[in-house]
């Protein structure tokens, strides 16, 4: 049974997709052992609680320095003894020591078809604003392993989504989440959990 730790920062719709997929059997051989948020009071924490999943907050605001936050975050991660760490909208830079300790065991969902619209500064709505600005006809989402770069690790899964005439960034973000993110993130976890 793969022990999955999910790290979040906000609304948690990707976390919810994972929870739902475990419940429906679209993800097998895996259990969500915990949720870590870097923010207090976000909907992700409510979603975890409603699903009976242990959740906690490790906030940079609670530490005197970034180095102490990094140590605190890694200690909390280790306490769950995860086999796989899933960054589901987690907007904090992962400490290098954590990437070393969990090499090839951290995955991330990014809301574009990497290598387009990714890297430093491309997160959340900014990704979709850039896609609309460029005028691409197809965008989508990518699940990739996390390495020491930004959105640079090996790609696991991608799904394309059409851009429609007149899309706003918000409308495009919603379509990418519904049609791509919420499908390929659970599918990637299932693939890893079952060595597919």
Catalytic residues: 110
Only segment of 26-34, 47-55, 76-84, 173-181 that touches ligand GRF (CB under 6 A): 173-181
**Residue 140 touches ligand GRF, criterion: CB under 6 A:** no
Pick from 34, 82, 111, 153 the residue near ligand GRF by CB under 6 A.
111
CB of 137 to ligand GRF, least distance (A): 20
Cα distances (angstroms) measured from residue 160 to each of 71, 72, 88, 92, 137: 37, 37, 19, 26, 10
Pick from 4, 5, 7, 13 the residue near ligand GRF by CB under 6 A.
13
Query: CA-to-CA distance for 39 and 154, rounded, in angstroms?
Result: 28
| Closer CB to ligand GRF, 14 or 190, in the complex | 14
| Closer CB to ligand GRF, 55 or 177, in the complex | 177
83 is written with which tokens? 């086999």
The pairing of beta strand 106-110 with beta strand 138-145: antiparallel
DSSP state, 26? Answer: S
DSSP state, 149? Answer: S
CB of 132 to ligand GRF, least distance (A): 15
CB of 176 to ligand GRF, least distance (A): 7
Only segment of 11-19, 22-30, 61-69, 148-156 that touches ligand GRF (CB under 6 A): 11-19
The pairing of beta strand 55-57 with beta strand 106-110: unpaired
> Is the distance from CB of 133 to CB of 89 less than 8 angstroms?
no
């Amino acid at each position: 049974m793969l022990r999955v730790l999910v790290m979040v920062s906000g609304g948690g719709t990707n976390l919810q997709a994972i929870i739902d997929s475990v419940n429906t059997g679209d993800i097998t051989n895996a259990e969500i052992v915990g949720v870590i948020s870097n923010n207090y009071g976000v909907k992700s924490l409510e979603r975890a609680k409603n699903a009976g999943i242990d959740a906690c907050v490790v906030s940079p605001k609670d530490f005197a320095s970034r180095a102490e936050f990094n140590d605190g975050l890694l200690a909390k991660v280790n306490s769950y003894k995860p086999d796989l760490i899933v960054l589901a909208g987690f907007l904090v830079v992962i400490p290098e020591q954590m990437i070393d300790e969990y090499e090839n065991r951290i995955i991330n969902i990014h809301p574009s078809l990497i290598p387009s619209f990714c890297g430093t500064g491309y997160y959340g709505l900014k990704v979709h604003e850039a896609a609309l600005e460029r005028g691409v006809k197809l965008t989508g989402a990518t699940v990739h392993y996390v390495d020491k770069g930004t959105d640079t690790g090996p790609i696991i899964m991608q799904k394309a989504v059409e851009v429609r005439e007149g899309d706003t960034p918000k409308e495009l973000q919603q379509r990418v989440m519904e049609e791509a993110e919420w499908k390929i993130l659970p599918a990637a976890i299932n693939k890893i959990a079952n060595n597919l």
